[in-house]
Amino acid sequence: MIDILAIGAHPDDVELACSGTLLHHAALGHSFAIVDLTAGELGTRGTAETRAVEAAEAAQILGAKERINLGLKDGFFLPDEASLRKLIEAIRYFKPRIVLANAIEDRHPDHGKGADFISRACFLSGLPKIETAFHGKPQEAHRPAAVYHFIQDRFIKPDLVVDITPYYDTKMKAIMAFKSQFYNPNSPEPQTPISSSEFMAAHIGRARDMGRIISAEFGEGFTVERAPGVRNFFDLT
């Protein structure tokens, strides 16, 4: 059982969008793991094999308890029964209290599609009549208490923001573990929207914008599927 499960359509989604939040909660004593739906094999730069190595390095930098890849088809995964069952098995394996998922809409269509896919799997995972097994062992139904969607390329007004200021340098190290994908002036591979120095500048600017909302230097924003409950106003800042 882990506390937070971060799920992204591609390796590097989690690092870019919510790794500071994972580091923050790890510092508070909470455990987390990462699930990648696809290997990102359709990416212009790198290969599925290089991205797997990069994802493992990033997970080590972040201190994830575990990272698994479901091997769904990049660009073509669908919410069919076979695909959903793979994610349901992962959710029941980790038994997270909270799931962090892709943005509800974004430049890459897999992100919005992933958001719905992940949310659906979280709900179905709580239905006892859906029978699954992991390594031959029957699994119990498990539904996370909450699903929060991180904000990725396109701006979405956040419902809540986490202060990640103390962890931003480590977040950037985890992002740059994906050497094939991001800014490298010596790379011979084609330029993409995320491989330019301008993208990194914009990424830092987004984190500063999110932080400014809560009077912090850096922040990560999330949208919610239902209004979060608080015991009193003083839990909010």
Structural domain for 100, as ranges: 4-235
Q: What are phi and psi of 43, to 5 degrees?
A: -60, 140
Per-residue pLDDT tens for 17-60?
999 999 999 999 999 999 999 999 999 999 999 999 999 999 99
- For residue 65, which of 120, 4, 111 has the smallest C-alpha distance? 4
Going residue by residue through the chain, which has 237 residues, state the pLDDT in tens, using 9 for 90 and above.
999 999 999 999 999 999 999 999 999 999 999 999 999 999 999 999 999 999 999 999 999 999 999 999 999 999 999 999 999 999 999 999 999 999 999 999 999 999 999 999 999 999 999 999 988 899 999 999 999 999 999 999 999 999 999 999 999 999 999 999 998 888 899 999 999 999 999 999 999 999 999 999 999 999 999 999 989 998 887
- What is the number of domains present in the chain? 1
For 177-226, the three-class secondary structure string (H helix, E strand, C coil) is CCCCCCCCCCCCCCCCCCCCHHHHHHHHHHHHHHHHHCCCCCEEEEEECC
Cα–Cα distances (Å) from 175 to 11, 16, 134, 225, 230, in that order, read: 10, 6, 31, 27, 33
Alpha helix stretches (DSSP H) within the chain? 13-27, 48-62, 81-94, 109-124, 168-176, 197-213
- Give the domain CATH number at 231: 3.40.50.10320
Q: What is the DSSP letter of 166?
A: G
Q: Token digits for 96?
A: 């997270």
Predicted TM-score (pTM) of the model is 0.96
